[in-house]
Amino acid sequence: MFSRKIITRREAMNTLAVGGVALSGAGLPSTVLVSPAMAQGADSVPMADLMAAGALPDVWQGKEDAPVTIIEYASMTCPHCAHFHAETYPTLKSKYIDTGKVRFTLREFPFDPLAVAGFMVARCIGDKRDAMVDLLFSQQKNWAYSDKPLQGLAALVKQAGMSQETFESCLKDKALYDNVNAVADRGKKFGVDATPTFYINGKKVSGDMSPDDLAKQVDPLIKS
């Protein structure tokens, strides 16, 4: 396990401002119209509501007609999310996604400005978005928990082929910043209040899942 250096909200905002992020606040400003069934804390959400278009396009993995749809809300600086992607996601990918049993997407739910920055660069890298998310999770302790997280983030995206100029331009994209937060805002309307949170065919499952936990949730839906 590793511990994170505790910084204040103002320090985090100032750190990202130095890197060029156009931050007007750390809240979730967007307003989303939702159905009455989407009350916060609900155990499930209608699939039609979950699948409606949001501020950013979903990046899907798996067959469109898969019997199971999994939507994950995650934060780039969340250690439990990183653990899921290290320990359980490989099983999800090989056993369920690649075999046509599950369709999966990860949606942005940043808890701090640094997580927003991570999601922004993942979006800016284009069709390598999921590969960048995987890289940032796998190297989380080396950038998000370092004394100079933006430098660590810049070094990682450089490995993925993003120039320093593109990196800085990405973090100045106010519209992208707002849209990342809008995705999280919509998640809050569904009842997301922690990461990771999963919606498995609409059923809310909160917290990190082991491969066995995943199987217990998914296998009955495949067989039904």
Q: What is the residue type of 132? A: M
Q: Could you tell me the pLDDT band of residue 223, with boundaries at 50, 70 and 90?
A: confident
Domain assignment present for 192: yes
Mean pLDDT of the chain: 85
Angstrom distance (rounded) from CA 75 to CA 51: 20
Of 7-16, 58-67, 99-108, the one with minimum mean pLDDT is 7-16
Does the pLDDT value for residue 69 go beyond 80? yes
Mean pLDDT of 97-124: 96
- The pLDDT assigned to 212 comes to 97
Q: What is the CATH number of the domain that holds 150?
A: 3.40.30.10
Q: How many domains does the chain have?
A: 1
Mean pLDDT of 15-34: 39
Domain assignment present for 86: yes
Domain assignment present for 4: no
Q: Which domain holds residue 186?
A: 18-218
Domain assignment present for 156: yes
Does the pLDDT value for residue 202 go beyond 50? yes
Q: Could you tell me the pLDDT band of residue 224, with boundaries at 50, 70 and 90?
A: low
Task: Report CA Rg, the chain.
Answer: 17
The tokens 């994950």 sit on which residue? 72
Residues in contact with 65: Cβ distance below 8 Å, sequence separation at least 6, in sequence order: none
Mean pLDDT of 193-206: 97
Closest by CA to 76, choosing from 125, 134, 150, is 134
Domain assignment present for 129: yes
